[in-house]
Structure 1
Amino acid sequence: MNKIFFTSDHHFGHKNINKFSNRPFSTVEEMDEELIKRWNEKISPEDEVYHMGDVALMSSGKLKTILDRLNGKIYLIKGNHESSALACASRFEWIKDYYELTVKDEEAYKGEQFIVLFHYAIKEWNASHYGTWHLYGHYHGGLADDPTSRSIDIGVDCHNFYPLSYEEVKEIILKKNWQAPFYLRD
């Protein structure tokens, strides 16, 4: 059975990201190889991957080689560094600025979990007052997490350079101290 994964901010080929984000890699080549390895350790060819942007800062030709090595069907939410990814558009199932995803989940309200996907963190999103989720990237762990919000930074810098499965995201989100507004409580 295929699974759903979420990730962001790989910055393949970005020579300065190791310094900017304090990544533990000696070279950009070492970083790229480790990111590919960790992606493929979790994701099979049939899985769906929602990438919240900033795939790479490298030529589209070099990026195509990397994308061809990554497992899964990749859906891209555009970040602010996507020129090479846009040149490789055929590798993605689709490319959008923003997306509202519904995942079948028997434990969720009415059996479906509604998730807002966007490169940037937003304070409120569609149906957030009902407990919907928001997944974002961009901040590389530099934006303080709100323990009362059903949102998380899905970027690789926050998750040991791995994508997260739907189940892993769910576990993180449901540990948060979110409460429905008073007018929605029983």
Structure 2
Amino acid sequence: MTTYFTSDQHFGHLNIIRFCDRPFPGVGAMNSRLVQLWNETVTDDDTVWVLGDVALGALDESLTHIGRLAGRKLLVPGNHDRCWEGDRPLRKGNPEARERRRAKERQRYLDAGFAEIHDRPEPVTVGGHSVVLSHFPYAGDSHGEDRFVEYRPADQGAWVVHGHVHDTWRRRGRQINVGVDAWGGRPVPAETVAGLLTEGAEDLQPLSWA
């Protein structure tokens, strides 16, 4: 059994192909290749932490791809996930209405195939190193100025394993980006992440798509 980390699949999102220069002629080809690369890497005995932004577009359709992915899948929501605590519709109305909407959106993701949803950054141990799991890095963004600062983890000296920045970096300081655009489309095994933690904080550029 192996643990993997990944993020930012953006199933169903046409514009991500252009934005991140993904090598696909359309959404259908991208979705199929993401599923293929995942299932070539992960088995049903493995656990995969998905660090946000898994699906966009017509959500009822794009979320169906989650059920095609091998392994036990745990979600730390990102800013494009409807179940993210910072999602604008979930912050409107009275507390009871907000809670109903939140429960409904969370259930959509659970029904799609996620075993668990973790709202806040998760502290875990990888290869003997203490790390925080979050959609967001401590600092940096793929759009220039840092967004969603209030939802980013506080830097208390640990490494952060994250997504959000797409192909901006693979490792920058004590920040490791496990997004598919930095790792050739594949989930990243914990052993690989542990190796990066041991190496130190030298910046690393993204890998090419497989």
Given the two structures, how large is their TM-score scaled by the length of structure 1?
A: 0.79
* Matches of 2:30 and 2:46, distance apart in 1: 23
Q: Which residues of structure 2 form unaligned runs of 5+?
A: 84-104, 140-152, 203-210
| Paired residue type of 1:160 | G
Displacement after TM superposition at 1:65 (Å): 2.5
| Paired residue type of 2:135 | H
Counterpart among 73, 88, 93 of residue 109 in structure 2:
88
The structure richer in strand per residue is 1
Does the Cα contact within 8 Å between 1:60 and 1:88 map onto a contact in 2? Answer: no
* Matches of 1:139 and 1:159, distance apart in 2: 12
Where 1:98 maps in the other structure, the secondary structure is coil
- The aligned length equals 166
In the other structure, the counterpart of 1:135 is 161
Q: Which residues in structure 2 correspond to 1:7-156 (within 5 Å)?
A: 7-83=6-82, 86=106, 87-90=108-111, 91-103=113-125, 105=127, 108=128, 113-123=129-139, 125=154, 127-128=156-157, 132-142=158-168, 145-146=171-172, 149-156=173-180
Does the Cα contact within 8 Å between 1:125 and 1:134 map onto a contact in 2? Answer: no
* Matches of 1:23 and 1:174, distance apart in 2: 30
* Matches of 2:199 and 2:174, distance apart in 1: 9
| Paired residue type of 1:45 | D
In the other structure, the counterpart of 2:86 is none
| Paired residue type of 1:167 | E
Where 2:121 maps in the other structure, the secondary structure is strand
1:3-28 deviation line (CA, Å, top 9, x unaligned): 10000000000011000111111111
Displacement after TM superposition at 1:116 (Å): 0.4
* Matches of 2:3 and 2:63, distance apart in 1: 22
Indicate how the Cα distance of structure 1 residues 169 and 144 shifts in structure 2: closer, same or farther if over 3 A, else same.
Answer: closer
Q: Which residues in structure 2 correspond to 1:150-165 (within 5 Å)?
A: 150-165=174-189
* Matches of 1:43 and 1:13, distance apart in 2: 21
Task: Detail structure 1 runs of 4+ shifted over 4 Å in the superposition.
Answer: 123-127
Q: Which residues of structure 1 form unaligned runs of 5+?
A: 179-186
1:120-165 deviation line (CA, Å, top 9, x unaligned): 111574652xxx321111111225843xx33211100000111100
* Matches of 1:33 and 1:121, distance apart in 2: 28
Indicate how the Cα distance of structure 1 residues 30 and 171 shifts in structure 2: closer, same or farther if over 3 A, else same.
Answer: same
Given the two structures, how large is their TM-score scaled by the length of structure 2?
A: 0.71
* Matches of 2:26 and 2:125, distance apart in 1: 38
Computed over aligned residues only, the root mean square deviation of the Cα atoms, in angstroms, reads 2.3
